[in-house]
Amino acid sequence: DELGTISSLPDPHADHLDLVLKTIDVEAIRAKKFRVLLDSNRGAGSILGRRLLEALGCQVQILGETPDGKFEHTPEPTAQNLVSVCKQVTDAGAVVGFCQDPDADRLAVIDETGNYIGEELTLALCLKQALPSKPGVVVTNCATSSVSSAVAEELGCRAKQSAVGEANVCDLMIAEQAVFGGEGNGGPIDPAVGYVRDSFVGMARILDLLASTGEPLSKVVAALPKFAMHKDKIDLDTSKLPALIEAIKSAMTDAEASMPDGLKLEWADRWLLVRGSNTEPIVRLIAEAPTLEDAQAICQQGIELSKSL
């Protein structure tokens, strides 16, 4: 029998920090001396979060800095869970508020006015910064906002879609030799750093974008393509999902249909995704359109069709 060896890593964050810093213009960000609020919510991201932001010359205020898992608010970084954080961004005079989930692979963003930008635009903002200097294929999952693919196409890049799930995104990124990717839940993936969703990549790229444009985040976001997303669900045994998919396809023949993960129907300016849950007897509906009312109406069509099953 061979005995194993024990090794120690004195600084477990250093290598990852170096990889992230190599992807951005560190000196340009330092010159801005940005004031940044980071909400780590007592999760895993606070230690490296502080090191990254301080390495970029930011004046940093951190909420929930002790990584003990005793969350100060419901951990999902949604608008309703971050109401108090939005106010603290403006109280702090920060140019941006960054909000991590507990394991720090997702990033929601708040602008300098205290407006919750959310998770869906995190990837789009990263693409706006990353793609001009490194064009190529971009991969998102099929439930990600069209804002990201629209930004990629505006910058002369091809956008590809995978099934939902980080592993599926990464597999397609590798197959397509993609230059960037991610999921619309606030999870940017930069192959130069690693094939994993990464809130630190998101923070660094967005600060680089603010430094290079010289514009407030609210103005940068206002210039992005506009879409509204609505999510709904149907209490339906997933064994009936094939029948529901056929019913929806038959009723919406004017759309282009594909099956990346369930059913996706796409029109010129809107889409509908119908997919079964892996953990519950429900079917999830996600729609995106120019207005919230349009997106809700598309989902409602699917709900009405399910009533006949």
Please compute the mean of the pLDDT values over residues 112-133 and round it to a whole number. Answer: 97
Within a domain: residue 270? yes
HSE, CB side, 13 Å, CA atoms: give it for residue 309. 21
SS3 272: strand
List the one residue out of 164, 125, 43 whose CA is nearest residue 117: 125
Going by pLDDT thresholds of 50, 70 and 90, the confidence category of residue 278 is confident
Within a domain: residue 158? no
Within a domain: residue 240? yes
Are residues 161 and 283 in contact, defined by beta-carbon separation less than 8 angstroms?
no
CA distances from 45 to 101, 108, 174 (A): 8, 13, 26
List the one residue out of 119, 112, 111 whose CA is nearest residue 144: 119
Within a domain: residue 208? no
H helices within the chain, ranges in order? 14-21, 26-32, 46-55, 83-92, 120-130, 146-154, 166-176, 199-213, 217-222, 241-251, 292-306
CATH assignment at residue 269: 3.30.310.50
Within a domain: residue 170? no
Within a domain: residue 277? yes
Mean pLDDT of the chain: 97
Please compute the mean of the pLDDT values over residues 28-47 and round it to a whole number. Answer: 99
Residue 143's CB is within 10 A of a number of other CB atoms, namely 25
**Residue 287's domain spans which residues?**
228-306
Q: Residue 131: its pLDDT value, please?
A: 98
Within a domain: residue 40? no
HSE, CB side, 13 Å, CA atoms: give it for residue 13. 13
Q: Residue 279: its pLDDT value, please?
A: 86
Residue 305's CB is within 10 A of a number of other CB atoms, namely 19
Going by pLDDT thresholds of 50, 70 and 90, the confidence category of residue 270 is very high
Within a domain: residue 302? yes
If one counts the domains in the chain, the total is: 1
Q: Compute the distance between CA of residue 140 and CA of residue 104 in angstroms, rounded to an integer.
A: 19
SS3 83: helix
Are residues 288 and 270 in contact, defined by beta-carbon separation less than 8 angstroms?
yes
Q: What is the pLDDT of residues 60-92, one digit of tens each?
A: 999 999 999 999 999 999 999 999 999 999 999
